């Protein structure tokens, strides 16, 4: 097989669903993963780095892992260990890896990778702290990034941290705002896409386990606590996988069956709606009555908001990727 033409950088706050997304990327013949950069989010950045290394090692992959921001730009880190377990991987006691992270800081790695690979595809699975810092330090990287798939936000629907906000955006709204308004070609994969029929149900879980590999077993086991927590939070059974769904949309853009381009702003001030992804779904920013609220220049900078996922297609891709690792 010829080597894939698509080069991808993954930024992750590696916990249980991130790990599954990493596996999908590392096993995919469609892309070359140039780097994994780690950010504080679900767990502190040192733990997230260990989790990324565990996953890379489990995949037998040779991809550099870089540690990045230990806290949001202006706020203290508030992790989601209640959801993912204290170690972020369901507290199963995964052994430390032989691999170690690179000495270079993640922000430097993002800049260097983007400058070295014009057309780079970027996917973010955690708070946007690293990416915001990279853009601020070297704005030229924006022109080299052909896609920026962001798992984050709750466009026009309920949040999972507060009624208004999804975790990744809520943790570091200032960083999210910088990225959203940077001119990057954002594809916004909101949390709502990972709910309801997109959740791995009992049958799906049995199907994954039937693959019978250590990797397939790891996918289910490391999400054990997240499975419980998702039920506590939503009353829905099964394993919800926001990051792997974002990865599926990176790998196969056609899995987005409904999407449209809109101006997206991030609330950074209000305590009530901190981290809200405000989507201009009806393009009212073009209305002159909004001139004092919305800056027209920003309104030119639209993100692609994914509204509907091909659910059977997403599950098929997950199963195929895991089965191929046999
Ligand atoms: Ca994540």
pLDDT digits (tens, 9 = 90+) for 91-105: 999 988 899 999 999
pLDDT digits (tens, 9 = 90+) for 177-207: 999 999 999 999 999 999 999 999 999 999 9
Q: Is the pLDDT of residue 172 over 50?
A: yes
pLDDT digits (tens, 9 = 90+) for 49-72: 999 999 999 999 999 999 999 999
* Beta strand pairing call for 145-151 and 277-279: unpaired
Q: Which residue has the tokens 């709204």?
A: 173
Q: What is the mean pLDDT of the chain?
A: 94
How far apart are the CA of 18 and the centre of ligand 1, in A? 5
How far apart are the CA of 154 and the centre of ligand 1, in A? 15
- The pLDDT assigned to 326 comes to 43
- The pLDDT assigned to 92 comes to 95
Torsion, Cα of 132, 141, 24, 304 (10° steps): 70
How far apart are the CA of 294 and the centre of ligand 1, in A? 30
* Residues in contact with 143: Cβ distance below 8 Å, sequence separation at least 6, in sequence order: none
* Residues in contact with 287: Cβ distance below 8 Å, sequence separation at least 6, in sequence order: none
Domain range annotation of the chain: 6-323
How far apart are the CA of 46 and the centre of ligand 1, in A? 14
How far apart are the CA of 230 and the centre of ligand 1, in A? 14
How far apart are the CA of 290 and the centre of ligand 1, in A? 34
Q: What is the mean pLDDT of residues 242-264?
A: 97
- The pLDDT assigned to 298 comes to 54
Helix (H, G, I), strand (E, B) or coil at 259: strand
Helix (H, G, I), strand (E, B) or coil at 21: helix
| DSSP labels, 275-322 | TBEEE-TT-GGGSGGGTTTS-HHHHTSEEEEEEEE-HHHHHHHHHHHH
How far apart are the CA of 116 and the centre of ligand 1, in A? 26
CATH topology assigned to domain 6-323: Inosine-uridine Nucleoside N-ribohydrolase; Chain A (3.90.245)
How far apart are the CA of 118 and the centre of ligand 1, in A? 25
Report the percent of the chain where pLDDT is more than 70: 95
pLDDT digits (tens, 9 = 90+) for 255-300: 999 999 999 999 999 999 999 999 999 888 777 776 666 665 455 6
pLDDT digits (tens, 9 = 90+) for 112-159: 999 999 999 999 999 999 999 999 999 999 999 999 999 999 998 889
- The pLDDT assigned to 2 comes to 56
Q: Is the pLDDT of residue 302 over 80?
A: yes
How far apart are the CA of 17 and the centre of ligand 1, in A? 6
Q: For residues 38 and 48, what is the distance between their CA atoms, to the nearest angstrom? A: 7
């Amino acid at each position: 097989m010829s080597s894939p033409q698509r080069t991808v950088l993954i930024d992750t706050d590696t916990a249980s669903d991130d790990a599954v997304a990493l596996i999908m990327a590392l096993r995919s013949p469609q892309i070359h993963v140039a780097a994994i950069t780690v950010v504080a989010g679900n767990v502190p950045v040192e733990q997230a780095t260990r989790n990324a290394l565990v996953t890379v090692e489990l995949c037998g992959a040779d991809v550099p892992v870089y540690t990045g921001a230990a806290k949001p730009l202006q706020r203290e880190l508030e992790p989601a260990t209640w959801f993912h377990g204290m170690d972020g991987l369901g507290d199963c006691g995964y052994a430390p890896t032989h691999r170690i992270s690179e000495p270079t800081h993640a922000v430097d790695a993002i800049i260097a990778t983007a400058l070295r690979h014009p057309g780079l595809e970027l996917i973010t699975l955690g708070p946007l702290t690293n990416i915001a810092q990279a853009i601020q330090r070297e704005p030229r990287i924006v022109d080299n990034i052909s896609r920026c798939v962001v798992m984050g936000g709750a466009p026009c629907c309920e949040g999972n941290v507060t009624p208004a906000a999804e975790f990744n955006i809520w943790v570091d709204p200032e960083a999210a705002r910088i990225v959203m308004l940077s001119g990057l070609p954002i594809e916004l994969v909101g949390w709502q896409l990972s709910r309801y029929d997109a959740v791995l149900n009992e049958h799906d879980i049995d199907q994954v386990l039937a693959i019978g590999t250590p990797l397939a077993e790891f996918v289910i086991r490391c999400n054990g606590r997240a499975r419980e927590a998702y039920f506590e939070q939503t009353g829905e059974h099964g394993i919800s996988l926001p990051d792997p769904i974002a990865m599926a949309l990176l790998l196969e853009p056609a899995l987005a069956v409904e999407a449209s381009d809109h101006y997206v702003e991030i609330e950074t001030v209000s305590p009530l709606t901190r981290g809200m992804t405000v989507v201009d779904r009806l393009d009212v920013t073009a209305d002159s009555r909004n001139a004092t609220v919305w800056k027209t220049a920003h309104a030119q900078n639209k993100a692609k908001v994914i509204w509907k996922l091909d659910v059977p297609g997403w599950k098929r891709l997950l199963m195929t990727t895991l089965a191929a690792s046999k």
